[in-house]
Amino acid sequence: MILQIQNLEEYQQVYQRSVADPEAFWAEMADSFVWKKKWDRVLDWDFRTPKVEWFSGGQLNITENCLDRHLESRGDQVAILWEPNDPEGETVRYTYRELHAAVCRAANALKANGIGKGDRVCFYMPMVPELAIAVLACARIGAIHSVVFAGFSATALADRVKDATCKMIICSDYNSRGAKNIPVKKVVDEAMDMGCDSVTRVIVHRNTGGEVAWNDRVDRWWHEEVDGQSSDCPAETMEAEDELFILYTSGSTGKPKGVVHTCGGYMVYTCFSFKNVFQYQDGDVYWCTADIGWITGHSYIVYGPLLAGATTLMFEGVPTFPDAGRFWQICEKHQVNQFYTAPTAIRALMARGDEWVEKYDLSSLKVIGSGGEPINEEAWNWYNEKVGKGQAPIVDTWWQTETGGIMITPLPGITDTKPCFAAYPMPGIQPVLMNADGQEIEGNDVEGLLCIKFPWPSMIRTTWGDHDRCRNVYFSAFADKYFTGDGARRDAEGRLRIIGRVDDVINVSGHRMGTAEVENAINQHGHVVESAVVGYPHDIKGQGIYAYVIADRTDAEPLRREILEVVTKEIGPIAKPDKIQIVPGLPKTRSGKIMRRILRKIASGDTGNLGDVSTLLNPEVVEAVKEGAV
Ligand code: 7RM
């Protein structure tokens, strides 16, 4: 089994070793997996290209390591524990043996439908076990999965399907979420009508059993394709650097980019980080509340836990259905030992009052995690006292879609914790703070731009179809460094605190959103002339979306409603602005650039000191924008 750090001294020692000789360290970590052929070289890299290759020459299949490897030692242990949206519904359990068989059947069905190594398969599905099964089935046969969060619109789905020229879409009929039954297949049908010509098959999993429209040429039922298949499917031989998956994420430009992760390094790092960050022990029940549509679900619901032979709980529903006690009811019911969620959920549940969490026995919890966005001190304290009872340490985990795994975090019971601090780098991770002139800021009690100066196994390899973009976005701001887009502080004792994005990316309820992306959507409205979107502090969501809109119509109310509709259609409900202000103009520099700094201040209600506006092209609009703030 992979190294599990036991105490502070060992962490310090392992960290030193991992930095002094990264290749030796990661070779040792990689040695605990099943390889069909051992690697020739541990690492080749050049951040200028960028080129990053881990374990090249090595051959493996990640599903052999997630499934086959465990059959003898833990075949009858529960691998996936699925809790339905309806609390009265039945819990579903897949043992490692059953999961292995289910993945093989699905893999054979994919093959029978023309999918092979290197083909892209898009997923648009709710949190049902079949999602995890089919994702693993792709990996089994070497197909590349591209999971799209089922809250995205048909337009957003079609964009992603087309960008990766996916051959297949796997979806559900409907999604039961809270009190709602949301049509899923219907959205796929709409996306298909938007020119997804590469798609030759749509596999539909019958979930709630509602009516769906059917296209005989492409549509097939999951059960008809999968149920009769053999439960034996040899695992395709993959090169360590073959693509495992694409996951789209938002950046500062309008178009989301397809972050590419590869088989070998991703396997080693997600397993290593899972075992250490959550200190998972045999027999524990681990629960991450994320959706598999995001990187957190990929790395810490599916791959990390299964690689480590864990029991991973998967929840279909939402934190507030049927009431605000649902998370804690599930923790009690399944005696959850490690619980991992997002600050947004913590804040939303905190706002509903302590009685919900006090109703349940949470004494099984050993580690509680937070991640995806900055956690404020009040939420950290509440989580610590009410959920962790001052006993279960909080791991505030900083990482990104691009990093593949958790990068900066306390290790529970091993390193200290401090509210709002992700604190310490994982072994093998070398964070640095940079100033705008490209110099490293050394010493403690300093603030700067967060970069990583050495490769780690699960880092981004490219952005799908556009390697230049990968270089420009991540590797050109600072020579020989990966730039995260985040600012960070190092305190007097050397702990890191992530402050947040320094680019035009906002974090709304833990969802990453490009302001340009939302602007593009708003601009699709025929009566919008121009728009500017900024984030502002929001009590529950962390950041809210504030849109300034210039329109050629004056009926503000209907216009607002229509803009919300357009954004929902272009991106999805998660991108709907919380506030829309119709403005006569936008403050611009003489070169025509929107002064976002001023707009951010007005949006956050901080209008006292807007700084010098006299050099603007149109200083007079500032007053008008200030007065009309919503
Ligand atoms: C895992 C995930 C990444 C961005 C990242 C940060 C922010 C994530 C934390 C955090 C403060 C944290 N991937 N972020 N974790 N900020 N503290 N513990 O969320 O690609 O969707 O987002 O999220 O700004 O750059 S992501």
The residue whose C-alpha atom lies closest to atom 17 belonging to ligand 1 is 374
In angstroms, rounded to a whole number, what is the distance separating the alpha carbons of residues 543 and 534?
9
Tell me, in angstroms, the distance from the centre of ligand 1 to residue 424's CA.
15
CA of 560 to the centre of ligand 1 (A): 30
- Contacts (Cβ under 8 Å, ≥6 apart) of 617: 588, 589, 590, 592
Q: Which residue, by CA, sits nearest to atom 13 of ligand 1? A: 400
List, in order, residues 6 or more apart from 356 with CB less than 8 Å away: 323, 324, 325, 328, 349
Q: What is the pLDDT of residue 480?
A: 97
Q: Whose CA is nearest to atom 11 of ligand 1?
A: 374
| Nearest alpha carbon to residue 522 among 563, 490, 494 | 563
With CA atoms as reference, report the closest residue to 291 among 87, 509, 92.
509
Output the six-digit token pair for 436: 């705008």
Q: Given the CA of residue 402, which atom of ligand 1 is nearest to it? A: 20
Pocket test for ligand 1, best of 512, 513, 517, 543 (most atoms within 8 A of CB): 512
Quote the DSSP letter at residue 428: T
Phi, psi of 568 (to 5 degrees): -60, -40
Cα(399) to centroid of ligand 1, in Å?
5
Residue 314 phi/psi, 5-degree rounding, is -125, 125
> What integer pLDDT is reported at residue 181 of this predicted model?
94
DSSP 32-92: TS--SB--SEEEEEETTTTEEEEEET-EE-HHIIIIIHHHHHHTTSEEEEEE-SSTTSPPE
Q: How many CB atoms lie within 10 A of CB 571?
A: 24
Ligand 1 centroid to 210 CA: how many Å? 36
Rounded distance from Cα 589 to ligand 1 centre (Å) = 31
pLDDT at residue 254, as a whole number: 80
Atom 7 of ligand 1: nearest residue by CA position:
373
Decide if 343 contacts 373 (C-beta within 8 A): yes
Between the CA of 252 and the centroid of ligand 1 the distance, in Å, is 15
Q: Residue 264: what residue type?
A: G
Q: Which of 373, 403, 574 to mutate to test the pocket of ligand 1 (most atoms within 8 A of CB)?
A: 373
How far is ligand 1, taken at its centre, from the CA of residue 398, in Å? 6
C-beta separation of 617 from 592 below 8 A? yes
Site to substitute for ligand 1 among 486, 511, 515, 517, most atoms within 8 A of C-beta: 486
Q: How far is the CA of 374 from the centre of ligand 1 (A)?
A: 7
Cα-based torsion angle of the residue sequence 614, 616, 617, 618 in order, rounded to the nearest 10 degrees: -70
Ligand 1, pocket residues at CB < 6 Å: 249, 295-296, 371-374, 396-401, 422, 484-486, 498, 500-501, 507, 512
**Residues ≥6 apart with Cβ < 8 Å to 9:** none
**CA separation for the pair 246, 460 (Å, rounded):** 10
Residue pair 226/236 in contact by the 8 Å Cβ criterion: no
CA 222 to chain CA mean position, Å: 26
Per-block mean pLDDT, blocks of 10 residues, the chain (630 long): 97 98 98 98 98 98 98 98 97 98 98 98 98 98 98 98 98 95 97 98 97 98 98 98 98 92 99 98 98 98 98 98 98 98 97 98 98 97 98 98 98 97 98 97 98 98 98 97 98 97 95 96 97 96 97 94 98 97 94 92 90 87 93
The CA 16 to ligand 1 mean position distance, Å, reads 26
Q: Which atom of ligand 1 is nearest to the CA of 296?
A: 1
- 4-20: b or e for each residue (b if 16 or more CB lie within 10 Å)? ebeeeeebeebbeebee
Residue 336 φ/ψ, nearest 5 degrees: -65, 135
Q: What gap in Å lies between CA 479 and CA 453, rounded to an integer?
A: 9
CA distances from 570 to 219, 526, 576, 597 (A): 25, 14, 10, 26
Q: For 358, list phi and psi in degrees, rounded to 5.
A: -75, -20
User: In this predicted structure, what is the pLDDT of residue 607?
Assistant: 85
The DSSP secondary-structure symbol of 292 reads T
Our mutation pick for probing the ligand 1 site, out of 498, 504, 506, 508, counting the most ligand atoms within 8 A of Cβ, is 498
Q: Cis omega (within 30 of 0) on the bond before 425? A: no
Specify the residue with its C-alpha closest to ligand 1, atom 12: 398
Which atom of ligand 1 is closest in space to residue 500's alpha carbon?
24
Residue with the nearest Cα to atom 22 of ligand 1?
400
| Residue 406 CA to ligand 1 centre (angstroms) | 10
CB-based burial label for 542 (10 Å; 0-12, 13-18, 19+): buried
Contacts for 502 with CB less than 8 Å, ≥ 6 apart: 449, 485, 486, 487
Give dist(CA 563, CA 548) in Å, integer: 11
The token pair that represents 165 in the structure block: 């020229």
| Cβ–Cβ under 8 Å, residues 110 and 138 | yes
Question: pTM above the 0.75 mark?
Answer: yes
The tokens for 571 are: 């991106």
Give the per-residue pLDDT at 27: 98
Specify the ligand 1 atom closest to the Cα of 396. Answer: 18
Amino acid at 229: Q
Tell me how far the alpha carbon of residue 513 lies from the centroid of ligand 1, in angstroms.
11
Residue 546 and residue 530 in contact, taking contact as beta carbons nearer than 8 Å: no
Are 527 and 552 contacting, i.e. CB atoms less than 8 angstroms apart? Answer: yes
